[in-house]
Amino acid sequence: METEKQRIEELVKQLNAASAAYYNGQDEIMPNYEWDALFDELTTLEEKTGYIIKDSPTQNAGYEESGSGQKEPHEYPALSLAKTKQVEELQQWAGAYPIWLSWKLDGLTLVLTYDNGNLVKILTRGNGNLGTNITFLKGAIGGFPQKISYQGHLVVRGEAAISYTDFAQINDMIEDDDEKYANPRNLASGTLNLEDPAEVKARHVRFHAFTLVHLDEPMVSWGERMHFLEELGFDVVDREATTAQKLPEAIDRWTKLVESGKMDIPVDGLVICYDDTDYAASGSVTGHHATRAGFAFKWQDEAVDTKLKYIEWSCAVSTISPVAVFEPVQIEGTTVSRASLCNISEIERLGIGKECTLSVIKANKIIPKCIAVKDAVGAPEIPSQCPVCHAPTKVHVSENSGTKTLHCTNPDCTAKNVKKFTRFVSKWGMDIDGLSIQTMLRFMNAGFIHEFADIFRLKEHFGEISQMEGFGEKSVANMEQSIEKSRQVHPVNFIFALCIPLIGVDAGKKIVAAIGFEGFLQRLHQGDGFEDIEGIGAERSRSIVTWYQNEKNHSGFEDLLHELSIEHVEVQDTSSGSCAGLSFVITGDVHHYKNRDEFKAYVESQGGKVTGSVSKKTAYLVNNDVESASSKNRKAKELGIPIISEDTFIEQFGGR
């Protein structure tokens, strides 16, 4: 009983550590199947002993905890800050007090509450008095710990934001135009409205603490409070201690950092606050502002006039979107020559003509935006053909918003299939760096890429590419190197890259191990199936044959073969291996092998199979704890399947 209790405690600790790492977006420290196996073991032990610890993962099933999306009052109202565009006003406010300068992040404010070291509640800011409970998303947002070493009552406020990089990528993949987001802030708040935590998690929302609202013990210095949060494991907003006197220089420096375009987190200003939080709390409340809580600095947008050269239309996953290309102008330190016009409705709203003068700003110092139009002559031409595939276009009017957007009518348009290209260049595929979705879409719209093989012919366009905005000779040289390197490819990665429905890495491995790439090629050419290969089956086999029968896939595949050198891999003759034809289940810790994956690889190399659960087909259950009362051992005993230790396995079947 004692050893069982110990084992339960050990399992709870291991499983919780693995979940924490997973939910905090760190590297996975335990593969899923192993987690499941340990979880099963724990459930069995708990049932048997009746000993269940409060923290046990069997008692809280991941995401489905608390949180209801209900409105709730804030314990400490979250008032907004007074704003100014004048540095002098900030200096006056600071007076002789030590102050802190930090970013005003552009996302959605969240308030987190911890008790006894556990995160117990997440509320959105809402109207400052009433927020929405989104505690159920706690595992889906990064930047804060689920558990902290501090045991008292702690309330922390911060901004949940999405980076510009993720924003661009996510927006490109949203197929319904009505659901696209105007900026990272809208995306962040739209995301936190979603009900599916997995969907939220995929969008990489990150929390950045900016105020420690409450702590049981006194801690007066704002700087110390932020440092304390950092020690507890929170992401904390960047900050700098300063004074009224040094403020203009500091603001200048921070502003330049934003203007350089190197900040990937969206910011829409700066905030100053007093280091003395007692003094800060002593202010009064006027309107919606607490007079001493802090002061926000917003940048004055610098609007510059320029002449429209033309409108460039480019096709992405779902829409053909307009970009204004104008005479290059200097705005806030950088040269700007393009600004997105979003859609046809925006062109009409602004009153853009065939010729006109545009008034352009950089929203949040980053995104060029056309805000007004003067001297418009004529109406701009809406293209009748898709710039990528030349199929006819059509204007779509949204039922919800009335927004007019332009679309390509060809379902096979290369631009619509850009997701396949991302799989093609991914790590498991051809492993080519430097070809993001955005980059590939630009190359498609420039007419450089129509099929996979065109990636290997990009060289012909490197001259033009190095002239394109955002590319230089160095990035083109890197791209070339990465593409050239990828020409030599392992057959499994190549098969994965082809995007054959139902054929992933695992199926690729099985095919290559059984018949080699030469065999794969031969069967494709002859129209033979693959169902005789262990683990492929009729459905996958049919999928491959059908895929190759499609004229476009077929010719694209042959084109690729001319560009690539597929590595030769020996066919594994497993029919005479020591485990040939036998099915094993491996459970518990292994000692001789590094882990169960390595063990499994040996069994497979000897023609055997490893499955997750004991059944009539199982030949042996390998468990170093031969006498264990686990459910697998019980099942094996019931079915009369021999339970052997790793040592016995090695004696009988070799290896290690």
CB of 449 to Zn ion, least distance (A): 13
Of 24 and 438, nearer to Zn ion (C-beta) is 438
Options 389, 502, 515, 619; binder of Zn ion; rule CB under 5 A = 389
Pick from 126, 122, 134: nearest CA to 191: 134
Angle CA 315–324–437, to nearest 5: 35
Listed in order, strand segments (DSSP E) in 316-447 are 320-331, 334-340, 355-363, 367-377, 393-397, 404-408
**Cβ closer to Zn ion: 94 or 413?**
413
Q: Which is nearer to Zn ion, 318 or 587 (CB)?
A: 318
Residue 104 a catalytic site member: yes
Tokens 């084109």 identify what position?
A: 559
* Residue 278 burial by Cβ neighbours in a 10 Å radius (0-12, 13-18, 19+): exposed
Segment near Zn ion (CB under 5 A), from 50-58, 370-378, 400-408, 471-479?
Answer: 400-408
* Shortest distance, position 104 Cβ to Zn ion, whole Å: 41
Give whichever of 341 and 418 is closer to Zn ion, judged by the CB atom: 418
* Minimum CB distance to Zn ion, residue 442 (Å): 15
Q: In the range 403-432, which residues lie near Zn ion by CB under 5 A? A: 408, 410, 413
How far apart CA 515 and CA 513 sit, in angstroms, is 6
Nearer to Zn ion, 441 or 603 (CB): 441
Give the 3-state DSSP-derived string for 483-545, with helices as H, strands as E and coil as C: HHHHCEECHHHHHHHCCCCCCCHHHHHHHHHHHHHHHHHHHHHHCCCCCCCCCCHHHHHHHHH
339: nearest Cα among 317, 362, 319: 362
From the number of C-beta atoms within 10 Å of its C-beta (0-12, 13-18, 19+), residue 366 rates as buried
Q: Token pair of 388, please? A: 């990528």
CB closer to Zn ion out of 280 and 388: 388
Q: How far is the CB of 450 from Zn ion (least distance, A)?
A: 11
- Least Å distance, CB 479 to Zn ion, is 24
Rounded to the nearest whole angstrom, what is the least distance from the CB of residue 314 to Zn ion in the complex? Answer: 10
> Could you report how far apart the first and last alpha carbons of the chain are, in Å?
34
Q: At 12, is the secondary structure helix, strand, or coil?
A: helix
Considering the complex, what minimum distance in angstroms separates the CB of residue 437 from Zn ion? 16
Task: Tell me if 367 sits within 8 A of 259, measured CB to CB.
Answer: no
Name which of 500, 317, 499 is nearest 417 in CA terms.
Answer: 317
Radius of gyration over alpha carbons of the chain, in Å?
A: 30
Helix axes 32-49, 2-23, angle to 10 degrees: 140
Which of 48, 104, 256, 404 is the catalytic position? Answer: 104
Closer by beta carbon to Zn ion, 376 or else 389: 389
Binding mask 359-388 for Zn ion (x = CB under 5 A): ---------------------------x-x
Q: Which amino acid is at 210?
A: F
Binding letters toward Zn ion, positions 24-63, x by CB under 5 A: ----------------------------------------
Give me the active site residues, please.
Answer: 104
Binding positions for Zn ion, rule: CB under 5 A: 386, 388-389, 408, 410, 413
